[in-house]
Amino acid sequence: MILDLLSSRRFAPQFWAQFFSALNDNVLKNALVIILLYGGMVSERETLVTVAGAVFIFPYFILSGLGGELADKYVKSVVARRLKFAEIFAAIFAAIGFLLHHHPLSVPLLFTALGLFGVIAALFGPVKYALLPDQLALGELATGNALVEGATFLAILLGTIAGGQFVAGSNHPGWVASAIVLFALASWAFAARIPATPESAPELEITVNPWTSTVHLLKTLYEDKAIFDGMLIVSWFWLAGAVVLSLLPTLIRDIIGGTEGVTTLCIAIFAIGIAAGSLLAAHLSHVRPNLTLVPIGAAIMGVVGLDLACLVATAAIGQDVTPKAFLASFSSLRLLADFTLFAFGGGLLVVPSFAAVQAWSPRELRARIIAAGNALQAALITAGLLVVAVLQRSGIHIGWIFLGLGFASFAVVWFVLFNWRRRQDTSQDTSACQPLTCSRS
């Protein structure tokens, strides 16, 4: 099924447009992270690294509602093509920031460019996910979502490698500037080949005030408890992933004492874990979303989160540790195993949850429901990253943050099981779909 989807026009153009767009986001973000951590250009480097993640994700909270309305009212492929065209100009702006290497305005310009990429990503999010149920059968949804999620984390991996290599010890910022523009052009070219589908709600009136639109969509999302609970679970996955990825560079640099190569290795392992968990979840959801995997994935994240906390708290501080030296240590191998398993559990959790939300959503509201979920995720991620930034600024050890992630993951297990049992106990219709046993059509 995977090869069939990747060779099909109903999925492949969207997949590659998303891949190059996510790759571009991460080249920009991770090049900026390396500049902040290793460039010595600014103070409060660790805090700014966390803030960079919040700058990118915050537009999702404000603009996801507008993105959902645009995706429901107009032809989704046209919206995608125009957004990817606008991204070219954001890429040019980022390229200018890199070309002003070592200039005092370079970092502010790059933060601004990161925010612009976040704006376009926020508007594009409802389009890319609302397209999947229009183009794919129910049995293909989990696989399609797994491929999109896997592509996203592969883009994180490649973007981390490319962003780091482009700027680490380099006096040629033209490389990263050129790459960002070329990736934007590639994303636009693939988006132009996405097949057209009928408008879902052509009579819909666009809400001019994005804040009003976001609030209204969140209220709409809350009205269906099953979908709302699913979106909360998906949001936890993205929040946990964002926190881990924001902490990784600081953990490697300040506690492990690793070089940029060690940071890249750890993010690679994390991406591989997400892909493996996502593909397994897709395989076990080939007929319908297998929601039994959701609490299992959360439990794995909880156990591993606690082990990560213990490991980080007792880690020895090194200096200029290379990837080869890092791999020679048993504690380092244990750290990599923890990252892999944490990400694997996340893949098991998110793929069936999000596939179920897509399948359950009415077609005429699907893009707006996904948009509301994006806004919910953005709010939680932004708040979470800002809390982490405050904790870092206060001198809290990273180990305590990983401990919190572990306990929160166990809370997700309780949340899933409690809501399933509550609906099972209160349901009077024996034909009604229960979240952990079947799928709504």
Alpha-carbon distance 178 to 184, whole Å?
Answer: 10
Read off the amino acid at residue 101: H
Q: How many CB atoms lie within 10 A of CB 296?
A: 16
Average confidence score pLDDT of the chain: 81
Q: Where are the domains of the chain?
A: 10-192+214-426
352-399 pLDDT per residue, tens: 888 888 888 887 778 888 888 888 888 888 888 888 888 878 888 888
Question: In degrees, to the nearest 5, what angle opens at C-alpha 379 toward C-alphas 358 and 424?
Answer: 45
10-192+214-426 topology per CATH: Growth Hormone; Chain: A; (1.20.1250)
Strand-pair partners of 258: 321
141-185 pLDDT per residue, tens: 778 877 887 777 778 778 877 776 776 655 567 888 899 999 999
End-to-end CA distance of the chain: 21
Q: Residue 397: what pLDDT?
A: 83
Query: Given a cut of 80, is residue 90 above it in pLDDT?
Result: yes
23-52 pLDDT per residue, tens: 998 888 878 777 776 655 555 666 677 677
98-139 pLDDT per residue, tens: 888 777 777 788 888 888 999 998 889 888 878 887 788 777
CA 429 to chain centre: 37
Query: Given a cut of 50, is residue 425 above it in pLDDT?
Result: no
Q: Token digits for 434?
A: 């229960």
Q: Token digits for 256?
A: 């492990």
CB neighbour list of residue 361: distance below 8 Å, 6 or more residues apart: 133, 227, 369, 370
For 197, which DSSP code? -
264-300 pLDDT per residue, tens: 788 888 888 888 898 888 888 776 778 889 999 999 9
Closest CA to 97 of 85, 114, 84, 121: 114
